[in-house]
Structure 1
């Protein structure tokens, strides 16, 4: 996950109704997130060649007032996968913003680090999201940037 600050005005076209951009220390954050879907099933069934696959998505964070209680959520601007069937189903049934691109990933385990690399091809060029993760787990500090960004449990679309 790579987090970056951005001007709120740039996200207005993607802001769902009745929500507002969620700020942290008066800043607007968006994230580029790479991860693996593992052991995926559709209605309890494994679909051949669609069990394990990578996704990279671009997202930002909002809040929504529901009966006087604020709920934090995530707005997905674009979700990229390698499987056209995944894009088709999620776009047609769930009205999401999936696109299909050539993708690849590399996750290499070492004793102390976990290098993670996600790549997707756009306009004949490979784009990369890479991180070297410390394998020692630690708790998030309450009120920290990491904790606030992680606490967006609802998913929203425009």
Structure 2
């Protein structure tokens, strides 16, 4: 099967927060269940560069290179081969109205289009020179942002580590309007990560993501790191059977 979308994802700032599972369960797509690490549920604020984007091999003018910031959490689905570890999204921000509209209307992905800007200071960061990244979006009359300062050179995540859990998910799950769930596969090589000396997250969490997230996202993240990223391929989605083997949460299909 040919990929539906190909791109390069680069310089992923990942701020990871332990969240009460009861906050996430109402959002869990039908047929999946929360994927826990050492018994803990996580949500991550992620900002990155979306580069050389192609849909079915074709570049769309003025829509190849852009930023994305998303709030995501972790789910799993039992496929024929065993557990498939994936992500689902609370909200995804891009600067292009066309991208957000297509994703929202055709795929029910929780995209919004907002003014965005970025700072990428990563010259020689692969060799250990300190770097800085910032992704910002404008809403409610002010700029919000997440940022990180890297140290050292990127290293492969240790097996069983929190960094491995956060970065090594290769499936996406999206609630559908009829209460079902779409599944799509994401293919990329294993990423390396930079350690982070300092991170920032400045956002009106309650207004943008819902008050239920405020006590968790306004605290200190459980971990923060920057993934180097790579070329990625996203394959066409399929519908999960309505009687999926995961445990659905209540209120499936609602996105904040």
* TM-score, normalised by the number of residues in structure 2: 0.59
Report the counterpart of residue 153 of structure 1 in structure 2: 170
Moved more, 123-132 or 39-48: 39-48
Report the counterpart of residue 160 of structure 2 in structure 1: 143
Distance 1:52 1:135, change over 3 A: farther
- What is the alpha-carbon root mean square deviation over aligned residues? 1.4
In the TM superposition, what is the alpha-carbon distance from 1:135 to its structure 2 partner?
A: 5.2
Deviations along 1:70-126, whole A, 9 cap, x unmatched? 111101111100000000111122221100111100101344122100000111121
**Which stretches in structure 1 are left out of the alignment for 5+ residues?**
none
Moved more, 130-139 or 6-15: 130-139
* TM-score, normalised by the number of residues in structure 1: 0.94
Distance 1:128 1:65, change over 3 A: same
Q: Of the two structures, which has the highest relative contact order with CA contacts closer than 8 Å and spacing of 6 or more?
A: 2
| Number of residue pairs the alignment of both structures matches | 158
Report the counterpart of residue 67 of structure 1 in structure 2: 80
Match status 1:52 vs 2:65: yes
User: Would you say the 8 A contact 1:114–1:135 is kept in 2?
Assistant: no
3-state SS of the aligned residue for 2:33? strand
